[in-house]
Amino acid sequence: MKLIVKNEATLLAYLYENLPMSKKKIKKYLTLGSIFINNTKVQKYDYKLYPGMTIFIDTKAKKKHTLPFDIIYEDNHIIVINKPSGLLTIATAKEKEKTLYHILREYLIQNKISKNLFIVHRLDKDTSGLVIFAKDEKTKNLLQDNWNELVLLREYCAVIYGNLQEKKGRIEQNLLETKTNLVYISKNKDGKKAITDYEVLKENANYTLLDIKIHTGRKNQIRVAFSSLNHPIVGDKKYGLKEKNIPRLYLHANRLKLYYPYLKKELLFEIPIPKEFKNLVK
């Protein structure tokens, strides 16, 4: 199914107004990753449309039980995927179905792969990258209870505004959280210790691409760290600049090394730096 956009609007509202189908069905296609704008997969309900854009809907995707993201590794105990930006890892009070967990579990059940799925760790909604799920409760408990010992490397890439004076360094902070879920740095050095290492990979006059390694897994740790340096992550509307024309948060979990007890060896999961990150620092 193909449409040419005739007026400025948001994606879900435009499709509901111009297609003979329910909002629930349109949302299902978005969740499945079946809608493409100018040949690019789009899953955000409020994606901005402009006249002349081409919308293509793969109406057969639901029957094929496809996933809107890539599986990086899978065995009898775990499954590792590349989470898209803008997708919740697990359900909240406001959103139950458009989550990484729900989509993956439905896929596993429909394809008769597994009836069970357990969350091991999570990423922020707007952060993309590697997430590990367990297929049984024993594995979930094994990984969660020994997470700090088993996980040997947690590496991210990010694009920040401006240029850093120090091209390589460590940021150590103590973090607290408000009742409204905003993380901030404690001046009294109470709260949870957060340690973030970074190194500049590439930069231009306006942006810098960073390699980031975290030694602690605090909520919003990386986002708060660079916001505190007055170089917030591009697209970070919570701790940075609220620019309307930025399509996503430029933070991506691209490498994770795990000592895997079942195989008794280290596994390195690695995915590329997104193209849009590299394009920003050309």
Mean pLDDT in order along the chain per 10 residues (282 residues)? 91 92 87 83 87 86 67 93 93 72 88 88 95 96 96 98 96 94 89 96 97 96 97 96 89 97 95 95 92
Task: For residues 157 and 259, state if they share a domain.
Answer: yes
Task: For residues 139 and 161, state if they share a domain.
Answer: no
Q: What type of residue sits at position 210?
A: L
Would you state the pLDDT for residue 144? 96
| Relative orientation angle of helices 11-18 and 23-32, to the nearest 10 degrees | 130
Task: For residues 181 and 265, state if they share a domain.
Answer: yes
Q: ∠ at Cα 236 (230, 241), nearest 5°?
A: 55
Would you state the pLDDT for residue 270? 96
Task: For residues 139 and 165, state if they share a domain.
Answer: no
Would you state the pLDDT for residue 96? 60
Would you state the pLDDT for residue 42? 87
Q: Which residues are catalytic?
A: 124
User: Domain range holding 51?
Assistant: 2-61
Residue by residue, DSSP assigns 58-95 as -TTHHHHT--SSEEEEE-SSEEEEEEPTT-BSS--SS-
Would you state the pLDDT for residue 32? 76
Which has the closest alpha carbon to 160: 87, 249, 271, 273? 249
**Which of 30, 61, 92 marks a domain boundary?**
61
Contact 127, 253 (CB under 8 A): yes
Burial label for 232, CB within 10 Å (0-12, 13-18, 19+), is buried
Task: For residues 224 and 277, state if they share a domain.
Answer: yes
**Which of 130, 145, 160 marks a domain boundary?**
145
Task: For residues 214 and 102, state if they share a domain.
Answer: no
Task: For residues 271 and 168, state if they share a domain.
Answer: yes
Look up the pTM and report it: 0.76
Q: What type of residue sits at position 73?
A: Y
CATH number for the domain including 43? Answer: 3.10.290.10
